[in-house]
């Protein structure tokens, strides 16, 4: 129950290279050329039982056949090509959104495309983390509900969300070829967002986030600056050549662990202590990690959770990663082995925390602490059970099943932040 303030470390502005601006991928030229060569007008007519000779008039049967063929041809030409002109399986859920919008001749509106470009599941995680960390850092619950705390939360949340967009957007820009195989429904891979537009969004988001983090004389704390700059540097090094840490499984895992664990939790904890709860300008990330048990333990737990998410994310992406020579851990050691290992790691983490807090509830000095620890303990045990139960029916080599399980872990990630304020 110590005080203190957290946050992160890292600074150095990396250059965002503009590169050659590539046009959007909305026109599958390879597919169109294939259709033109294989199915010329005369070939289509002959296939349907019709000839171009005026002496041979089409019967009603011929017309029906031709109608069905025309519809199938229209569907082919409006479906985005993936790799080497292949057509996505119509039963593939990963490409269903793209197929639906293009076959009807409609494109998603720009706000919808932008929302998908943010990778909403990561954006929601960041949006939940900052208020929860403020509540955890508060000396008492009553101090949470003040204008000062609200201002601190809002001022930290806006640049944090833009930084989240910078990191996830940059990853999509540098992974277009991989995403066409693994995630063809992402906006750039699906042809709904051009590379020049995506680059403009990413550059603006990064600059705006860093600038806002430094813009206020009192709310621009050391913790906030460390969180934003560390996220910026590690996110850039993760995706952008020539460094591109994601090529190396240990360095890739380190980036995600650092950002999702120490950077976000310790950084915004330190920011909350300094901006909302009287910690002052001397509150540092290192100081909070070393002197505040709540800060240290929450950072450790979310570092483990970040590691699990980092590895589980790669399990369904083995095909594209192999073709692009990205040596992720599932590529190196196998999908079954990694899936089972990270599932067990997260289960043990939840159960350990749950048992620890339930024991602490029995010895709590007040009824309030007993209630808080009981809520957190029971929630953690249930989460651990859920991690194991949902994994039973998952085939690690089935991308759809693994991705569904991966999103289930994100829901537990959100739930962990919702109960984090009860960690007393």
Predicted confidence at residue 341, as pLDDT, reads 94
Predicted confidence at residue 320, as pLDDT, reads 84
* Of 42-51, 184-193, 380-389, minimum mean pLDDT range: 42-51
The distance between the two most distant Cα atoms of the chain, rounded to a whole number of Å, is 98
Predicted confidence at residue 219, as pLDDT, reads 92
Angle between helices 293-314 and 335-362 (to 10 degrees): 160
252 pLDDT higher than 60: yes
386 pLDDT higher than 60: yes
pLDDT band at 20 (very low <50, low <70, confident <90, very high): very low
Q: For the segment 272-314, what is each residue's pLDDT rounded down to a tens digit?
A: 999 999 877 678 999 999 999 999 999 999 999 988 988 898 8
Judge contact between 272 and 265, C-beta under 8 A: no
pLDDT band at 98 (very low <50, low <70, confident <90, very high): very low
pLDDT band at 267 (very low <50, low <70, confident <90, very high): very high
Predicted confidence at residue 310, as pLDDT, reads 86
- What is the Cα–Cα distance from 214 to 225, expressed in whole angstroms? 7
- The CA distances from residue 105 to 74, 75, 108, 196, in Å, are 10, 10, 10, 23
Closest Cα to residue 299, out of 264, 271, 261?
Answer: 261
Closest Cα to residue 285, out of 275, 276, 273?
Answer: 273
Look up the pTM and report it: 0.72
Q: For the segment 193-251, what is each residue's pLDDT rounded down to a tens digit?
A: 999 999 999 999 999 999 999 999 889 999 999 999 999 999 999 999 888 888 887 88
pLDDT more than 90, % of the chain: 58
Question: Angle CA(264)–CA(177)–CA(313) in degrees, nearest 5?
Answer: 40
37 pLDDT higher than 70: no
């Amino acid at each position: 129950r110590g005080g203190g303030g957290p946050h992160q470390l890292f600074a150095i502005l990396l250059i965002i290279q503009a590169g050659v601006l590539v046009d959007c991928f909305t026109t599958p030229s390879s597919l169109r050329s294939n259709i033109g060569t294989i199915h010329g007008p005369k070939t289509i007519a002959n296939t349907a039982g019709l000839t171009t000779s005026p002496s041979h008039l089409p019967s009603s049967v011929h017309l029906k056949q031709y109608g069905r063929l025309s519809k199938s041809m229209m569907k082919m030409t409006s479906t985005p090509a993936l790799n080497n002109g292949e057509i996505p399986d119509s039963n593939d859920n990963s490409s269903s959104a793209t197929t639906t919008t293009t076959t009807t001749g409609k494109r998603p509106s720009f706000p919808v495309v932008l929302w998908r470009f943010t990778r909403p599941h990561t954006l929601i995680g960041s949006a939940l983390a900052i208020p929860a960390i403020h509540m955890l850092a508060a000396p008492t619950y009553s101090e949470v509900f003040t204008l000062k705390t609200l201002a601190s939360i809002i001022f930290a949340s806006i640049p944090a969300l833009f930084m989240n967009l910078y990191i996830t957007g940059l990853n999509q820009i540098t992974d277009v070829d991989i995403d066409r195989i693994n995630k063809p429904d992402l906006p750039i891979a699906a042809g709904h967002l051009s590379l020049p537009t995506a680059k403009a969004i990413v550059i603006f988001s990064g600059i705006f986030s860093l600038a806002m983090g430094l813009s206020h004389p009192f709310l621009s704390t050391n913790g906030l600056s460390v969180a934003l700059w560390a996220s910026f540097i590690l996110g850039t090094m993760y995706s952008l050549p020539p460094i591109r840490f994601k090529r190396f499984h240990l360095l890739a895992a380190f980036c995600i662990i650092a950002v999702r664990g120490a950077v976000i939790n310790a950084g915004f904890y330190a920011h909350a202590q300094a901006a909302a709860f009287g910690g002052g300008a001397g509150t540092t990330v290192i100081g909070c990690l070393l002197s505040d048990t709540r800060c240290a333990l929450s950072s450790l737990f979310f570092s483990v959770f970040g590691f699990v998410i980092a590895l589980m994310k790669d399990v369904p992406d083995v095909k594209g990663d192999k073709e692009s020579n990205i040596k992720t851990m599932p590529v190196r050691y196998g999908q079954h082995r990694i899936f089972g290992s990270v599932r067990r790691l997260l289960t043990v983490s939840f159960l350990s925390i749950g048992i620890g807090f339930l024991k602490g509830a029995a010895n709590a000095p007040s009824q309030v602490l007993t209630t808080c620890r009981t809520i957190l303990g029971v929630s953690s045990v249930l989460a651990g059970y859920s991690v194991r139960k949902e994994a039973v029916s998952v085939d690690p080599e089935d991308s759809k099943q693994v991705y569904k399980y991966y999103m289930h872990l994100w829901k537990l990630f959100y739930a962990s932040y919702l109960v984090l304020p009860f960690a007393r």
